[in-house]
Structure 1
């Protein structure tokens, strides 16, 4: 049997190594338990930006790392050559650009920051969505039966069947009550990521991408939440709630300390290889730092990042988050097994 992958890196090592020296990367932590923790700590690439069993899930009462392996084979490995060509400033063929864009999309959805946003979103709207969907579906079926028309066949979507449980509860009057259940957690998140990276990504229109160069004397940092979906009006009015299909929305992803992937959906695009002016580059650098979740990474310690993003110093919050991740796999696996019974 293939050994289960346990340490799931949500920011791949093949990406972070562009900022590393001899296998270590300068790391600025945004959540620390004590003021005495140094601002910058060199970290091993193997020991940063991962959680145990982040993507492992239970299927048929057995644990599987199928999603982790799928990310490796379909998004990470194909992008490695493309990233190398960007860094070495070699010619890029269309397939290299496609690999970069697919890698960027996967990097966007797989981080703990996106997990937290997903759970908030589902807690706020999943119940209403399931209720309205079930009511429409029941009404459609009743209309078909009333008109003596054939019922639609059930789609063979095993993943959907594993995260949504549909049952009919007999009622005393002889009717039935349809019951739909789902668990908001890891399995639903993985299903959504798979859907986005297969179905949704395929419907996105072709878009021109470019690589921007950092000006002399500057470098792009990166973070544990590296892809930025930007709604930008001016340097005082912007947010990170943009999308892949939002008109005039910008997408940015540092690829190395000197190279940054960029596009503007439906808008004017820089020429490939453009070096922005220093003021624009400083703003981009600020955006990268502001968008970080728990870590900022750089080739070497920077003396201004703590001014842009001051650390949150709180022992209780630090310990609570650490404990939550330690419990993550056990709690999620238990919920997944119970749901499949």
Structure 2
């Protein structure tokens, strides 16, 4: 059996290499460290940063599979390389190249640990209602079919088998009615289904926006992070959040593509931006840093980052998080036992 890919990058190495220098190393600022003696900025190999073991591994019929990791590489990362290279070299992109680049942006918005944590919170609030609505819809369709002479074939999502789901019936003896119980496991399987769905369909809304490539002012450079796509809602000076959406009117979508260039769009605004002031560039870099999860990346150390995003020194929290990701795969596999795959 061929060896599967185990080291999964949630920020592409091809993306980070724009900030890397000698021997593919990149300056890294960590937001959580185990000891105050850890330098604020360190050089990290892009091969060893922004990745976790088995982050996107699926368990299929009891066997580990890296088909999802390969799918992202083949369908999104590899096709985006020409567009990424052309954009970085100031060459115009055709329609198809721009779409490849925007799908690459979508990928980096939704496959990070920060995105997973956000999804988990939202699922905890919304999933009971979603499951209840789906069950009621299914029951209504079943009841409607009883009065038809020809039965329709139910529509199915080909990726729905990725969702860890368990359906059980509870019917007492001699009873004609019972309870149909549906359970959905909130974890990796549901996350991978969500990623596949968004990258196969929903991302296309990005094609409808007008995009600008902003050059950093002379003497400045764009930073990036392990959560590199910003969806900024800016209300007024000092009032903003990062809860915007791909199709939310007024939301600003920001994605640095190199220390010199940044991809930008404001949903619903058809005006392209050609220049950016030092004041605006400083604000954008601040937003990029604040949106980081555990790492800020730069082509050089930037002293101001520690003021914008003071790091947390906590050995217990650091060790706990390291252990959580170290046992991620084993815990996800164990929790998915007994669920439909």
TM-score normalized by structure 2? 0.94
Looking at structure 1, the residues matched to 298 and 204 of structure 2 have their Cα atoms a distance apart, in angstroms, of: 33
Residue 107 (structure 1) aligns with: 108
Paired residue secondary structure (1:275) = coil
Paired residue secondary structure (1:47) = coil
Shift of 1:203: 5.4
Shift of 1:27: 0.2
Shift of 1:149: 5.7
Looking at structure 2, the residues matched to 162 and 20 of structure 1 have their Cα atoms a distance apart, in angstroms, of: 36
Residue 306 (structure 1) aligns with: 306
Paired residue secondary structure (1:171) = coil
Shift of 1:240: 0.5
The aligned runs of 1:52-67 (5 Å cut-off) are 52-67=53-68
Deviates more, 1:287-296 or 1:126-135: 126-135
CA RMSD of aligned residues (A): 1.8
The aligned runs of 1:153-172 (5 Å cut-off) are 153-163=153-163, 164-172=165-173
Paired residue secondary structure (2:234) = strand
Deviates more, 1:309-318 or 1:162-171: 162-171
- 2:231–2:245 CA contact under 8 A, matched in 1: yes
Corresponding position: 1:129 with 2:135: no
Report Cα offsets for 1:83-125 as digits up to 9, x if no partner.
1112211232222211110100111000000000111111222
Residue 287 (structure 1) aligns with: 287
Report Cα offsets for 1:163-216 as digits up to 9, x if no partner.
233343333312232221211100110001111111222456622211000000
Instruction: Choose the corresponding residue for 1:250, options 249, 252, 273.
Output: 252
Deviates more, 1:96-105 or 1:136-145: 136-145
Looking at structure 1, the residues matched to 145 and 338 of structure 2 have their Cα atoms a distance apart, in angstroms, of: 35
The aligned runs of 1:254-265 (5 Å cut-off) are 254-265=256-267
Report Cα offsets for 1:275-324 as digits up to 9, x if no partner.
30111111111111110100000001111110110001111111110111
Long gaps (5+) in structure 2: none
Report Cα offsets for 1:316-338 as digits up to 9, x if no partner.
11111011111100010122233
Paired residue secondary structure (1:129) = helix
Residue 315 (structure 2) aligns with: 315
Shift of 1:141: 2.1
Deviates more, 1:234-243 or 1:6-15: 234-243
Looking at structure 1, the residues matched to 149 and 118 of structure 2 have their Cα atoms a distance apart, in angstroms, of: 42
Residue 92 (structure 1) aligns with: 93
- 1:257–1:298 CA contact under 8 A, matched in 2: yes
Report Cα offsets for 1:221-244 as digits up to 9, x if no partner.
000000001111233111100001
Residue 51 (structure 1) aligns with: 52
Residue 193 (structure 2) aligns with: 191
Change beyond 3 A, Cα 1:339–1:238: same
Paired residue secondary structure (2:27) = strand
Long gaps (5+) in structure 1: none
Looking at structure 1, the residues matched to 46 and 299 of structure 2 have their Cα atoms a distance apart, in angstroms, of: 13
TM-score normalized by structure 1? 0.94
Paired residue secondary structure (1:8) = strand
- 1:57–1:336 CA contact under 8 A, matched in 2: no
Shift of 1:156: 4.2
Looking at structure 1, the residues matched to 161 and 281 of structure 2 have their Cα atoms a distance apart, in angstroms, of: 47
Instruction: Choose the corresponding residue for 1:176, options 161, 175, 178.
Output: 178
Change beyond 3 A, Cα 1:135–1:92: closer
